[in-house]
Structure 1
Amino acid sequence: MSHTKQPEQPQRLQGRLGTAGIVFMVVAAAAPLTVIGGNMPLGIGLGNGAGAPVGFLIAALLLLVFSIGFVAMTPHVKQAGAFFSYVTLGLGKRPGMGIAVVALVAYTAIQAGIYGYIGWAIDDTIRFYGGPSIPWPLYSLVTLLIVAFLGYRHINLSAKVLGIALVAEISIVVLLDLAIIVQPGPAGITFESFAPSTFLNGAISVAILFALTGFIGFESTAVFRDEARNPERTVPRATYISVLIIGGFYAFTCWAFVVAIGPDSVLDVAQRTLAGEGNMLLDTTNDYLGRIGRDIVNVLLLTSLFACVLSFHNVIARYQFVLAGLKVLPARLAQIHPKHESPSTSSLVQSGTALAVLAVFALFGVDPLVGVFGSMAGVATVGMTILMFTTSLAVIVYFARNPEHRQGRTWRTLVFPALACVGLIGAMALVLSNFTLVTSSGVGLSTMLAFIPFVAFIVGWIIGTKKRAILPG
């Protein structure tokens, strides 16, 4: 029997990220411009037309309710790892390991999807300006190498890159929104989107569904706990600010586009966009900001996708790092680079994993949008809903078992988490009942994809039963 002495505590990352730095990382993962260009036409065209802004508001409200319990438990969760750490502390090792595997699968899926999307987008942009058509996997590979370079280094470098990209993309959309308000469309400044007769007309459930997919990554505030200044204050602030910024930005911009196009015409414009007969975002930008504005937005769409994939790379690398430090994954993944103070080995492994997944898609000639992005976004959406539901349940159980930590905060520790559980069950029903819309695939393949996160949870539960990990809880 081996008597090798194990360290009492796993190594921890260090950093100086403030609230703004974490917010940049999180909002960048949500890829605001990508959502405006992709999810918004989907919510309008397949959902409730001019009432789609309400879908974003409802999604934001649900995640805000979820965040109340999430934040209330944050001071008691000393380990980085986001959902995994919360569920382990609240529900135990086996559910915690189940959620850890679900998280890795969900984040890996959405990252692979974004790599496919950005490969297609770069090729589409170059061809639009008269350049040659090059297979999308080559563009995805170049992007992956740049992400690997940045991810290997200190988190502050990634935060700076993400901050620049994020400020640029939000600035151009805010400028577009203001231009629309100054010179509204044919119906003028209208609030018809928020009239019940409008937002309840059509499939509001579909609008909510695509709004929810636009928030993936907002919870990663807790992943950067060890690299944050004063995490007990920074993480809660960053969580609330991220939800409010993302939700408000989405809803306001979606409403601005209804104003620009007109509530009677926006459904038709969105549907033509989905049919490939136009581009709601770029065409509207061209109308209000001219060709230069259109070109800028086109470029920033690419930087938005890049910021998104870099952010998810950092999240996955840190999940692996934490799990390795707890003896769940190989110990080498818990190494910290002596110079860059980053989870360098975990980052390299993450890059290798992403490369392997992309190679499979490229080898089989999978379509980068419908096949890669659509299917992987579907897997990630199911996984994220499972993660948030289980975390809300963990909050309820934790405070029930530790009443001394409630401090009279029944609403924050019981009522809001319970409401979040109910809302997330409803969200899961929306996702699964409309899953073919998310994946753009048939029922058979969509069903198989939807089961992947559930299978991941079972696999993690089994690992948690057998693995002698040093997990809390």
Structure 2
Amino acid sequence: MANRIDETGDARVAGDPADTHSHRRLRGTLGVWGIVFVVVAAASPLGVIGGPVPLGIASGNGVGFPAIFIISTVIVLLFAVGFTALTPHVPNAGAFYSYIGKGLGRVTGFGFAFVALISYLALEIGVYGLIGQGAQALFSSYGAPDIHWGIWALATLVIVAVLGHRNIDLSRNVLGVLLIAEVAIVLVLDAVVAFTGGHEGLSTGFLSPSEIVSGAPGIALLFAFLSFIGFEATAVFRDEARDPLKTIPRATFVALLLIGVFYTVSTWALITAWGDSRVVEQAVADPSGLLPGATEEYLGAAGLHIVQVLFVTSLFACILSFHNVVARYVFTLSNRNVFPASLGEAHKSHASPHLASGIDGIVVLVFLIAGIALGLDPVMQFYTWLAGISTVGIIILLIATSVAVLAFFARQRRRGEAEVSAWRAFIAPGIGLVGLVAVLFLVFQNLPTLVGGSTPIAIGVVVLLVAVFAAGAGIALRRPQVQLD
């Protein structure tokens, strides 16, 4: 009997019952908003307003920083035009590597599959350092014993492992609640600041060309763009979406627009809260205190306590989102015969990638134990080193995906099979590609700073990503039976 390949990449004998390989299919009821919750939670909106935003104000272009968020939003929206145009031609949940493979070939696709996996895994592990320190500081402020950050990180891992074992719908519900709470408190702060007018009236710096290009706008663009990492994971949840051909494109654009508007407005409000004349000085002196200071002044002690709690839950939501992404990468690659086939089996009851999720948890556990044993600082070392890997890797993936979109539709056009407009196939992704290349240049230029000021570690990040790509491409070359779909 003739064999065929189903959407999971499994060989299926023609005429077999439809559920023969149901143990290798994920199930879920994710709609547009379900995927939006998972993806926006990965972006950690409250964490961005409390972290990269003050850094962008301090070392970037000061009061002109909100305009940089507008530019970044335009770049990622242009990328998304081509990304979603290619979605109907990618019938599986491989996300980046499947898209790249469609345009640049199977071997290149698998090389970038490994880059994607290590990039998301590195960021997931790194954020455990942030939540460990955040939880330690939070509970200590309420008079609780000063427990080591590693204990809080390990406790978080247990909760994430339980949720990752279950159906994605449970994670969606948890993420939805946490996301609504963190966004709500920031929007309340935005509204109060806008209503009261801040210390010096509403900020207008983002409207002034001289302010926008002042200082170091390139550094500002870097911090702004890093705040969007995670949006591109919409396609990872293809098998758990109700109608992926409609849901994924809609969720991608909704997530991007929500994130872009939220970051722009909230950054403007934070600047207004302090005043144009003193916000840069304050951000340079104490970047981590910019958001708490504004919150306490405009929302009182109660608002400050809420923000402190939600900052930690925001990091938890970020970890859970990336855990789900990593587990699905492992699951999909296992069903492509890259990893052991057992990791590509779905749970009989939950239809979740439970074994892939478990492997992810074990890897995280190993890194946490190593970080604790070596006495690494949870933020300046554990987080920044791993975040450097993720930053470079994901931007390179975005660039490769843009190139793949252009290559795929160029072949279609030559064959007379053009199905989409020139705007979606070439113009938008082409302009987006130029912007992404500029961002990558800025990342390389400032990579030592991103990884704690260490040039050797910066070089190590690049070497690691090249080695990982070579490993994935090498497997594809040696095993021609390994297919993308």
Q: Work out which of the residue numbers 283, 308, 319 in structure 2 matches 1:309.
A: 319
Which secondary structure state, in structure 1, belongs to the residue aligned with residue 102 of structure 2?
Answer: helix
Report matched runs for 1:60-459 at 5 Å. 60-274=73-287, 279-403=289-413, 404-407=416-419, 409-459=421-471
1:309-350: CA deviations, max 9, x gaps?
000000000000000001111101101100111011111111
Amino acid at match of 1:328: V
Contact 2:25 2:351 in 1 (8 A): no
Query: C-alpha separation between the residues in 1 aligned to 2:463 and 2:443?
Result: 12
Which secondary structure state, in structure 2, belongs to the residue aligned with residue 113 of structure 1?
Answer: helix
The offset of 1:425, in angstroms, is: 1.1
Paired positions, count: 466
Which secondary structure state, in structure 2, belongs to the residue aligned with residue 402 of structure 1?
Answer: helix
Q: Which residue of 2 aligns with 1:8?
A: 11
Contact 1:324 1:331 in 2 (8 A): yes
Query: Structure 1 pair 106/83, CA: closer, same or farther in 2 (3 Å)?
Result: same
Contact 1:107 1:380 in 2 (8 A): yes
Query: C-alpha separation between the residues in 2 aligned to 1:241 and 1:68?
Result: 12
Query: Structure 1 pair 166/408, CA: closer, same or farther in 2 (3 Å)?
Result: closer
1:197-249: CA deviations, max 9, x gaps?
11110011111111111111101100000100111000000000111111111
Query: C-alpha separation between the residues in 1 aligned to 2:76 and 2:457?
Result: 29
The offset of 1:143, in angstroms, is: 0.1
- What is the identity percentage for the equivalent residue pairs of Structure 1 and Structure 2? 42
Q: Which residue of 1 aligns with 2:18?
A: none
Contact 2:47 2:315 in 1 (8 A): yes
Q: Taking structure 1 as the reference length, what is the TM-score of the superposition?
A: 0.96
Contact 1:327 1:468 in 2 (8 A): no
Query: C-alpha separation between the residues in 1 aligned to 2:396 and 2:285?
Result: 33
Unaligned runs of 5+ in 2: 13-20
The offset of 1:408, in angstroms, is: 5.0
Deviates more, 1:19-28 or 1:79-88: 79-88
Contact 2:395 2:436 in 1 (8 A): yes
Query: C-alpha separation between the residues in 2 aligned to 1:249 and 1:443?
Result: 34
Query: C-alpha separation between the residues in 2 aligned to 1:193 and 1:444?
Result: 37
Contact 1:326 1:469 in 2 (8 A): no
Contact 2:111 2:469 in 1 (8 A): yes
Query: C-alpha separation between the residues in 1 aligned to 2:356 and 2:292?
Result: 38
Unaligned runs of 5+ in 1: none
* 1:32 maps to 2:45: yes
Amino acid at match of 2:186: V
The offset of 1:7, in angstroms, is: 4.8
Which secondary structure state, in structure 2, belongs to the residue aligned with residue 455 of structure 1?
Answer: helix
Any runs of at least 4 consecutive aligned residues in structure 1 with deviations exceeding 3 A, and if so which?
Answer: none
Query: Structure 1 pair 124/371, CA: closer, same or farther in 2 (3 Å)?
Result: same
Query: C-alpha separation between the residues in 1 aligned to 2:181 and 2:32?
Result: 19
Query: C-alpha separation between the residues in 2 aligned to 1:241 and 1:469?
Result: 38
Amino acid at match of 2:125: A
Contact 2:10 2:336 in 1 (8 A): no
Contact 2:25 2:345 in 1 (8 A): no
Query: Structure 1 pair 69/7, CA: closer, same or farther in 2 (3 Å)?
Result: closer
Q: Taking structure 2 as the reference length, what is the TM-score of the superposition?
A: 0.93
